[in-house]
Structure 1
Amino acid sequence: MGSMVLYNYFRSSTSYRVRLAMHMKGLDFEYKPINLLKSEQRSPEYLKINPLGGVPTLVHNGKVIPESFAIMEYLDEVFPEPALFPKDAYLKARIRQVCEVINSFMHPMGNLKTLKYMEQHHGYTQEQKEEWFKHWATQGLQTLESTLKEFAGTYSFGNQVTMADLFLIPQLVTCQRFKVDLSPYPTLVKISENCNKLEAFQKAHPFKQIDTPEEFKK
């Protein structure tokens, strides 16, 4: 396995994804907190390993890998069990589709950078930021619900956890933080309930991390 260091932030949904992948695979890693609210991601030291100044970043045996999707696919190749993708090419493509709806469409709309820009340059209040996020999140949730109704079993694609679940659960937690009503999406709610029974999902939860502020701990 070698040494593994994960630079991440407790509330970052992209960090959450990677923690899920690592716990699903039973990997030991050193947790390095990067406090986004204190702009630690913009420090010269951190920018050397992640020039975009985002989280997470994985360092494995001295090799640096930024960006959650890249990290998770790397982990799935280097540590192939349990696999996060099926062998079937069509199902693999549909799982990537679900991941991209979240990664490329939904996540950027609630990203700290995006909302901070809206506040600083357009005067958005907290209520307006929530309204902004809900507008886009609803479109994404509707797409995910209609897609996963076709494929879901216990989890997003049948009865084995896949990459789709590792993207979905953090995004649903973000939706709840922005007060998005999830009741119109019963398939997604069922998948979430089943995933959160698993130890890996419980260990990766944002409120269970070493940098989780006391007010968030359950």
Structure 2
Amino acid sequence: MEITVLHLPWRVRLALGLKKIDYKLVSIDLFKNEQKSEYYTKLNPNQRIPALIFGDQILIESTAIIEFLEENFSSYPLLPQDNIKRAQIRGFCQVINSAIHPYQNSNLVAKIEKEGNMNKTEWIKFWVTKGLTAIEELLKKYHGKYCFGDEITMADIFLAPQAQAVAERFQFDLTPFPLILSVVNNLKDLPEFIAASSRNQPDNIEQAQI
């Protein structure tokens, strides 16, 4: 069954790439507010990206999409069989989703800067530091070569884009977080991670929203 993805965030690119899943990409230009168009709003009333069309069904939100891919495509498992470890990885991912990812959203940052009269870089660094500090502590329990041992999991495809984005977009120094930096360095030169990197995308889609 054909998969169509409308706008392709970094972490979803990684999941599709690692699992070697073929798909059709439809770009949604966030700079032109195409996510607010009548066409896209019918697919996702929340007017956020991404959306995935699988047959006649529509899936939204990157975490739910990645979980769907994991459950329906057995190639390259992103979660272990052990239920405790699966829950630990999901919890790790949700820390990134709640404590790091939102503060890199360009629409939110622009609104805070405008209405709150704040320096956006300092605001981002304050909140992202709190999130990365939590992730660094979790890695002390779980890390190996990657986030959870020596196999790539969903945790890695959540961490790498966020860590690289704050470093590249906001000149955030990751050296106070040696375990995060070690994991990211171990991932960044893998073919799937190179192919999924924002710098290798034709439309620089991460400039609008991670």
- After the TM superposition, which residues 113-132 of structure 1 pair with which residues of structure 2 at under 5 Å, given as runs? 113-124=107-118, 128-132=119-123
Residue 23 of structure 1: how far off its partner (Å):
0.2
Residue of structure 2 in register with 1:86 after alignment: 80
Residue of structure 2 in register with 1:12 after alignment: none
| Aligned-partner residue type, residue 73 of structure 2 | F
> Sequence identity of aligned pairs in percent?
38
Residue of structure 2 in register with 1:179 after alignment: 171
Residue 197 of structure 1: how far off its partner (Å):
2.0
Residue of structure 1 in register with 2:181 after alignment: 189
Residue 37 of structure 1: how far off its partner (Å):
1.6
Q: Is 17-26 or 96-105 further displaced after alignment? A: 96-105
| Aligned-partner residue type, residue 63 of structure 2 | F
Residue of structure 2 in register with 1:134 after alignment: 125
Residue 107 of structure 1: how far off its partner (Å):
0.9
Residue of structure 2 in register with 1:100 after alignment: 94
2:30 to 17, 36, 53: 36
Query: How far apart, CA to CA, are the structure 1 residues paired with 2:204 and 2:131?
Result: 28
Is 1:150 matched with 2:149? no
Residue 120 of structure 1: how far off its partner (Å):
3.6
| Aligned-partner residue type, residue 185 of structure 2 | E
- After the TM superposition, which residues 19-58 of structure 1 pair with which residues of structure 2 at under 5 Å, given as runs? 19-58=13-52
Report SS of the residue matched to 1:92.
Answer: helix
Aligned length: 204
Query: How far apart, CA to CA, are the structure 2 residues paired with 1:120 and 1:182?
Result: 27
TM-score (norm 1): 0.89
Residue 189 of structure 1: how far off its partner (Å):
0.9
| Aligned-partner residue type, residue 148 of structure 1 | L
Residue 64 of structure 1: how far off its partner (Å):
0.8
Paired residues of 2:99 and 2:130 also in contact (CA < 8 A): no
Report SS of the residue matched to 2:47.
Answer: coil
Query: How far apart, CA to CA, are the structure 2 residues paired with 1:123 and 1:77?
Result: 45
Offset from partner CA, 1:112-170 (integer Å, 9 cap, x none): 2211221343344xxx1111110010011111111112211111001110000010001
